[in-house]
Amino acid sequence: MKVYSQLVKRLASQNHYSKFVTAHNLCFSSENNPKSSMTKEQMKKDLMEGSHFETELLRRKKVVTTPTDEEIKKQEELEQEAAAQALSEIYDEQQVKEVLDKIKESGVTEYKIFEIQPEALKKIQFYKNILFFVNIPMILGIPALTELGFLDHKPNAKTIFAILHLTDFFLCFNSIIIYSTLQRLVSAIYYMPQENKILVKQWSAKLLGLKDLTFDPKDLIRIRKQSFNPFIGYKSVHDNNVKLGTESIGLWHDRKLFDSMIFREVKRRVVRPIRKGPVSSGVQTGSQQKSEDKKE
């Protein structure tokens, strides 16, 4: 009966009402008429012939095939096209030199590359006000209120204390998120042609005021979008803690020039497997040679 019950459940779940009725009638007819009894194998065969289960089982048997040479070649062509498209979005070295020479000839001391949008600046100021005038006073005030005992005479003091401590924890976590996000954001980026430097105006860790950072063009590198802080678009090559939040908050005046100036080819490191096997008598490994030298 286990096979019958399983088949009936699967038929009912797949809305095969007619086959469900057939299975039900077959079961009860076999009980009322012993001569017309059917075996479990016959019932299973009759129900599964040409039914949904046959096609379902065939569909689930997926054959894992290795990619052919044509598929591998197509994949390589797509990768080459993507690399060529990425290179077409930036200038080559000669074009970068020509553009920088034009900027120098124009006599500009600071060539603006990036600036923050006014809407984003308003949001930053709004979150700064929340951090300094709402979160921090409440984070300091809630423990002082509970320690001084102003709420001890209340009948539901324990419930109030629990709510206050939970609120304090939430405000601490929220303040850390706001602070760590705002201190990475960039207000403006300039290119200084006389010094051949990049000037970055970024919010600092000290009370979120603006600070000036100068970089050589090759000291910065573009990075992928991060899940924790999606605003970060660039970072320093020498210091991983220096990250620049430029994505989705600013207006780019000449991003193509900026990406071309900091562009560098990233060579992939090929990891070759180490072959393990018996060493021939005529060949000595480095460790064997060192041990023999020590013995001598």
Domain boundary among 43, 60, 77: 60
Residue 213 inside a domain? The answer is yes
Contact 113, 191 (CB under 8 A): yes
How many Å apart are CA 292 and CA 183, to the nearest integer?
Answer: 58
How many Å apart are CA 234 and CA 265, to the nearest integer?
Answer: 16
Residue 82 inside a domain? The answer is no
Domain span at residue 223 reads 186-262
Residue 271 inside a domain? The answer is no
Contact 164, 224 (CB under 8 A): no
Residue 215 inside a domain? The answer is yes
How many Å apart are CA 159 and CA 170, to the nearest integer?
Answer: 17
What pLDDT was estimated at residue 47?
58
For the whole prediction, is pTM greater than 0.75? no
What pLDDT was estimated at residue 269?
47
How many Å apart are CA 45 and CA 66, to the nearest integer?
Answer: 35
What pLDDT was estimated at residue 220?
92
Residue 117: partners with Cβ closer than 8 Å, 6 or more residues away: 249, 250, 251
Domain boundary among 34, 60, 86: 60
Residue 218 inside a domain? The answer is yes
How many Å apart are CA 181 and CA 200, to the nearest integer?
Answer: 17
Ranges under pLDDT 50 in the chain: 16, 30-36, 62-64, 266-271, 279-283, 285, 290, 294, 296
What pLDDT was estimated at residue 153?
80
Contact 72, 245 (CB under 8 A): no
Residues 150, 155, 158, 163, Cα dihedral to 10°: -80
Would you state the structure tokens that stand for residue 248, as one six-digit string?
């989705």
Reduce the DSSP state of residue 117 to 3 states and report it: coil
In the chain, the number of structural domains is 2
Residue 267 inside a domain? The answer is no
